[in-house]
Chains A and B, each alone.
Chain A
Amino acid sequence: MNDLWIILTAALVAAACSLVGCFLVLRKMAMIGDAISHSVLPGIVIAFLISGSRGSIFMLIGAAVIGLITVFLIQLFQQSGVQSDASIGVVFTAMFSIGVVLVSLYTRQIDLDLDCVLYGEIAYVPWNTIEVGGVSIGPKAVWAVGFALLLSSVVIGLFYKQFKLCSFDPALAAAVGIPVLLFHYLLMGLVSITTVASFESVGAILVVGMLIVPAATAYLLTEKLSVMIVLSVTVGVISSIAGYFVAYLLDASIAGCMISVAGVMFVIAFLLSPTNGLIIRKIRQKRGLSGVIPESV
């Protein structure tokens, strides 16, 4: 049963992250996903300190706010003349440092372990359950991540056209009257919520990996956004399930194994994708050449 809870949590995290990850990869904002997932740490700690509990809703709001502040600061510095990648780097490392300092200051008051936050010990998920009227209704992480996944699916489902246009052609989107900035912040809000819901149970690394790697893998396999989303979620879920069994076999970090499997799947797509793969490109190049030579002769 515990195995099942762990796999379910991981699969939910993977699905939620790879859903929003698609838009990040398309909009060339992959590293902003990385930045948000590191900078929600102080948000989590501050929410702990204020509320004194692991109340999920409160933490989700706190982290979404911190995530938006991060995005806002990054844009602010960019506008004041700092290169975009550098401003991402400055903001998220500073936020993360504040988080780490807060954790080490208050580490006795709250049971947040630094290693746990970094790698995320998903193995402990089944023991941190929610009880309603004395009856356990499953791990807290499942509910939190499930909620985040539901929220992202609903929002993206409702505004699918707007999100799509904003990702592919922001100028056109603005021209037809879509509030581009609003959708930018809406997406960032979803990324923050997804991140924080996953963060505490699975750690920063799994979140960053699942935001970017499955989406990039799917991007190699298709040209259509809807197909890309489905593929990305599938790749995410497969790598979390397969990763769990690899971790079981090797007796190694579960989160680490899940990312490694996702990495392997990316490499396979990179080499073998029927439309974009390295091998098909090489073959096409050769054919192209052999096709050209006789003609010119």
Chain B
Amino acid sequence: MKYADEFRDKEIAVGLAKAIRAEANKARPYRFMEFCGGHTHAISRYGLEDVLPTNVRMIHGPGCPVCVLPAGRIDMAIGLAMRPEVILCVYGDLMRVPGSQGASLLKAKARGADVRMVYSTIDAIRIAEENSAREVVFFAIGFETTTPPTAVMIRMAEKKRLSNFSVFCNHVLTPPAMKNILESSDIGDKGQFEIDGFVGPAHVSTIIGTEPYEFFAKEFSKPVVISGFEPLDMLQSILMLVRQINEHRYEVENQYRRAVTRDGNLRAREEISDVFELRDRFEWRGLGQVPYSGLRLKRSYAIYDAELRFEMQELCVADNRACECGAILRGVKKPVDCKLFGTLCTPEMPMGSCMVSSEGACAAYWAYSRFRDHRQRRAS
């Protein structure tokens, strides 16, 4: 695949790993948080931790819109899907996300809810056109990357005068969550979980650009590198972060220059601001209420807002008390530090959000990395 395969070259990967090893100061740790689940997935899938020196550690952040969706919102969606008139259109990732008491859309579907998996919002519009006697609701989730397609869809519904179509909006913003993590009290506790720099999400930045991250670089004196998702992209970004730290620079650098600019995609940003407005606060699984971090439809589009249309009641469900997802999302703990990990909480029976999506820190660790600990234990 052009623009993918070239960035998976083994020889260059080995060379980059050597460069990182040569430039990383052995006397200090380098702890980088990759904010985005896509990066978590790539790190695990390609086993990048194996090629990094031991003092360069990756901390998996909360960057998966599926993982951070709180159980209450899933319960609300299930309630909606159980209504006989409703067809709920969802992205595939959402099917297994647990609501309260192990409920999920997959289980709701088994009980008769009409839940349909779609690849794109365009499919949801088509389903609404084909089922004029039913209420078609799109379960909208995602960060800034996935928000413009929802905006386009709402304007399309308006253009087509669809009266049986609405959106259950759960779109969230990345910078407020990043800020929340950096300001949370347990970061820096005992000094051992200090984050030295961020690998920033390139696909989000295709939309919002690199500019929103400049605040972090300045405010928190942390280097940020906006990184692509191929293994070479990631290794280069890690090298760039190592260099920034060695040179005491705290800048936003753009590794993914082939598709990301400082300003991002102005047309897509306009789409977002035309259709959506900020919520005062939105609940993130593991992080709790984060101010100004979620979006809802503007009042001018109220007829497409499923929460108003179906008078949905806001549901809040407390996370399982033993679940360490919150601390894991903030990089304060590792999956293996959680009592539930691999016992009560597995990919088949996920308790917490980090295990739900294959991008979650726990699921990625379970799927791709748990043999490392066995190896290390055997070696010690």
The answer to whether A and B belong to the same complex is no
